[in-house]
Structure 1
Amino acid sequence: MKASPSSSGAQGDSRSRVPGWLRILLPTVVLLVWFALFGAGGASFGQISAVSTNDAVQQLPASADATKVQLLQSDFRGSESVPGVVLFVRDGGLSDSDLTAIDERVSTLEKLDGVFSGSASPILISNDKAAAEVILPIDSNYTTATVVDEIRATLADQPIDGVTTFVTGPAGLLADLTGAFAGIDGILLLTALGAVFIILILVYRSPLLPLIVLGTSLSALCASVLVVVALARAGALTLTGQTQGILFILVIGAATDYSLLYVSRFREALRDKEHKWDATWTALRGSFEPILASGGTVIAALLCLLFSDLNTNKSLGPVAAIGIAFAIVAALTLLPALLLWAGRTAFWPVRPRFGSVHPALSGAGAKGIWPKLARVVSTRARLVWVASTLILLVASLGVFQLKADGISQSDFVLGASQARDGQAALGEHFPGGSGTPALVVGPQADLQKMADVLLSNDGVDSVSVLAKDSVSGTTPITTEGLQAVGPPGTPVAEPTVVNGEVMIQATLNAAGDSPAAEQTVRQLRVDVSEVNAGILVGGTTAIAIDTNDTAIRDRTLIIPIILVVILLILMLLLRAIVAPLLLMGTVVLSFGATLGVSAWVFNDVLRFPGADPVVPLYGFVFLVALGVDYNIFLMSRVREESIRHGTREGILRGLVATGGVITSAGVVLAATFAALGVLPILFLAQIAFIVAFGVLLDTFLVRSLLVPALAHDIGREMWWPSKLSRR
Structure 2
Amino acid sequence: MKTRTRPQAAPPAARPDRPHRWVRIGVPVVLTLAWIVVFLVGGRMFSQLGELSTNDRVQFLPASAESTRVNELQREFALEGVTYAVVVFERETPIDDATELALERAVTRLPAIDGVRSFNATPMIVSDDGLAAELVIPVASAGEIDESVAGLRAGLLALVPEDTAVYVTGPAGFASDIITAFQGIDGLLLLVALAAVLLVLIIVYRSVMLPIIVLVTSLSALCGAVLVVSALARSGVILLAGQTQGILLILVVGATTNYALLYVSRYTEALARRDSRWDATLEALKGSWQPILASGATVIVALMVLLFSQLDSNRTLGPVAAIGIVFALLAAFTLLPVLLLWAGRAAFWPRHLKSVATDPTHADVLEGVGVWARLARTIARRPRAVWVVATLLLAVMALGLTQLRADGSPSSEYVLGESQARDGLHVIAEHFPAGAGTPAIVVSDVDTMLEATATALEVDGVDSVRIATLGGPTPITPEGVQPFAEGAGIALAPIVVDDRVLLEMTLTSAADTTDAEASVMELRSALDALSSDILVGGQTAIDVDGNEAAIADRTLIIPLVLVAILVVLMVLLRAVVAPLILIGSVALSYAAALGFSAVIFNTVFGFGGADPTVPLFAFVFLVALGVDYNIFLMTRAREEAFAHGTRRGLLRALVLTGGVITSAGIVLAATFAALGVLPLLFLTQIAFIVAFGVLLDTFVVRTLLVPALAYDIGPGIWWPGALSRDASREAETDLVVR
TM-score, length-scaled by structure 2:
0.95
Deviation at 1:114, TM superposition (A): 1.0
Structure 1 residues 18-27 or 148-157, which shifts more? 148-157
How do residues 404-419 of structure 1 correspond to structure 2 at under 5 angstroms? 404-419=406-421
Percent identity between the aligned chains?
54
Residue in 2 aligned with 1:385?
387
How do residues 455-474 of structure 1 correspond to structure 2 at under 5 angstroms? 455-467=457-469, 469=470, 471=471, 473-474=472-473
Instruction: Say if 1:39 and 1:499 are closer, same or farther in 2 by CA, change over 3 A.
Output: same
Structure 1 residues 75-84 or 591-600, which shifts more? 75-84
- Partner deviation per Cα, 1:279-310 (whole Å, 9 max, x = no partner): 00000001111100000100000011111011
Distance in 2, matches of 1:557 and 1:268, equals 43
Residue in 2 aligned with 1:538?
537
Residue in 2 aligned with 1:321?
322
Residue in 1 aligned with 2:197?
196
Distance in 2, matches of 1:110 and 1:434, equals 27
Deviation at 1:681, TM superposition (A): 0.5
Instruction: Say if 1:366 and 1:237 are closer, same or farther in 2 by CA, change over 3 A.
Output: same
Distance in 2, matches of 1:311 and 1:166, equals 32
Structure 1 residues 484-493 or 586-595, which shifts more? 484-493
Distance in 1, matches of 2:128 and 2:205, equals 69
How do residues 197-596 of structure 1 correspond to structure 2 at under 5 angstroms? 197-352=198-353, 358=359, 365-467=367-469, 469=470, 471=471, 473-479=472-478, 481-487=479-485, 488-489=487-488, 491-596=490-595
Structure 1 residues 283-292 or 431-440, which shifts more? 431-440
AA at the equivalent of 1:255:
T
AA at the equivalent of 2:568:
I
Distance in 1, matches of 2:514 and 2:316, equals 28
Runs of 4+ with deviation above 6 angstroms: 354-357
Distance in 2, matches of 1:117 and 1:55, equals 22
Secondary structure of 2:62's aligned partner: coil
Contact 1:65 1:536 in 2 (8 A): yes
Residue in 1 aligned with 2:660?
661
Distance in 1, matches of 2:483 and 2:623, equals 61
Instruction: Say if 1:534 and 1:356 are closer, same or farther in 2 by CA, change over 3 A.
Output: closer
Residue in 2 aligned with 1:17?
18
Residue in 2 aligned with 1:57?
58
Instruction: Say if 1:408 and 1:364 are closer, same or farther in 2 by CA, change over 3 A.
Output: closer
Residue in 2 aligned with 1:26?
27
Distance in 1, matches of 2:282 and 2:205, equals 22
Contact 1:83 1:138 in 2 (8 A): yes
Distance in 2, matches of 1:690 and 1:411, equals 18
Contact 2:217 2:336 in 1 (8 A): yes
Structure 1 residues 501-510 or 157-166, which shifts more? 157-166
AA at the equivalent of 2:626:
G
Secondary structure of 2:474's aligned partner: strand
Distance in 2, matches of 1:354 and 1:609, equals 51
Distance in 1, matches of 2:37 and 2:543, equals 43
Contact 2:50 2:245 in 1 (8 A): no
Distance in 2, matches of 1:602 and 1:14, equals 61
Distance in 1, matches of 2:217 and 2:359, equals 27
Distance in 2, matches of 1:107 and 1:363, equals 81
Deviation at 1:74, TM superposition (A): 1.4
Contact 1:15 1:278 in 2 (8 A): no
Instruction: Say if 1:102 and 1:649 are closer, same or farther in 2 by CA, change over 3 A.
Output: same
Residue in 2 aligned with 1:119?
120
How do residues 668-707 of structure 1 correspond to structure 2 at under 5 angstroms? 668-707=667-706
Instruction: Say if 1:632 and 1:104 are closer, same or farther in 2 by CA, change over 3 A.
Output: same
AA at the equivalent of 1:161:
E
Contact 1:673 1:688 in 2 (8 A): yes
Distance in 1, matches of 2:11 and 2:294, equals 28
Distance in 1, matches of 2:712 and 2:123, equals 77
Deviation at 1:255, TM superposition (A): 0.3
Contact 2:302 2:564 in 1 (8 A): yes
Contact 2:111 2:155 in 1 (8 A): no
Instruction: Say if 1:296 and 1:531 are closer, same or farther in 2 by CA, change over 3 A.
Output: same
Deviation at 1:113, TM superposition (A): 2.2
Deviation at 1:549, TM superposition (A): 0.6
Secondary structure of 2:460's aligned partner: coil
Deviation at 1:433, TM superposition (A): 1.3
Instruction: Say if 1:205 and 1:454 are closer, same or farther in 2 by CA, change over 3 A.
Output: same
Distance in 1, matches of 2:96 and 2:102, equals 10
Distance in 2, matches of 1:662 and 1:612, equals 31
Contact 1:576 1:720 in 2 (8 A): yes
- Partner deviation per Cα, 1:235-270 (whole Å, 9 max, x = no partner): 111212211111110100000000000000000000
Aligned pairs, number: 722
Deviation at 1:484, TM superposition (A): 2.3
Contact 2:126 2:133 in 1 (8 A): yes
Contact 1:396 1:593 in 2 (8 A): yes
Contact 1:276 1:340 in 2 (8 A): yes
Secondary structure of 1:118's aligned partner: helix
AA at the equivalent of 2:250:
I
Distance in 2, matches of 1:675 and 1:408, equals 24
Instruction: Say if 1:361 and 1:212 are closer, same or farther in 2 by CA, change over 3 A.
Output: farther
Deviation at 1:101, TM superposition (A): 2.6
Residue in 1 aligned with 2:153?
152
Contact 1:400 1:596 in 2 (8 A): yes
Distance in 1, matches of 2:306 and 2:682, equals 18
Deviation at 1:491, TM superposition (A): 3.9
Instruction: Say if 1:354 and 1:17 are closer, same or farther in 2 by CA, change over 3 A.
Output: farther
Residue in 2 aligned with 1:602?
601
Contact 2:269 2:357 in 1 (8 A): no
For structure 2, the 5+ residue unaligned runs are 727-738
Instruction: Say if 1:355 and 1:228 are closer, same or farther in 2 by CA, change over 3 A.
Output: closer
- Partner deviation per Cα, 1:392-422 (whole Å, 9 max, x = no partner): 1111111111111101110001100000011
Deviation at 1:562, TM superposition (A): 0.2
Deviation at 1:100, TM superposition (A): 2.9
Contact 1:120 1:136 in 2 (8 A): yes
Contact 1:3 1:272 in 2 (8 A): no
How do residues 609-688 of structure 1 correspond to structure 2 at under 5 angstroms? 609-688=608-687
Distance in 1, matches of 2:219 and 2:366, equals 42
Deviation at 1:16, TM superposition (A): 5.6
Distance in 2, matches of 1:332 and 1:361, equals 30
Secondary structure of 1:499's aligned partner: coil
For structure 1, the 5+ residue unaligned runs are none
Question: What CA RMSD, in Å, does the superposition of the two structures yield over aligned residues?
Answer: 1.7
Distance in 1, matches of 2:356 and 2:130, equals 87
Instruction: Say if 1:300 and 1:357 are closer, same or farther in 2 by CA, change over 3 A.
Output: closer
Deviation at 1:214, TM superposition (A): 0.4
Contact 1:459 1:517 in 2 (8 A): yes
Deviation at 1:442, TM superposition (A): 2.2
Deviation at 1:12, TM superposition (A): 5.8
Distance in 1, matches of 2:521 and 2:146, equals 30
Instruction: Say if 1:356 and 1:482 are closer, same or farther in 2 by CA, change over 3 A.
Output: closer
Deviation at 1:559, TM superposition (A): 0.1
TM-score, length-scaled by structure 1:
0.97
- Partner deviation per Cα, 1:524-565 (whole Å, 9 max, x = no partner): 000000011121100010000000110000000000000000
Deviation at 1:355, TM superposition (A): 13
Secondary structure of 2:138's aligned partner: strand
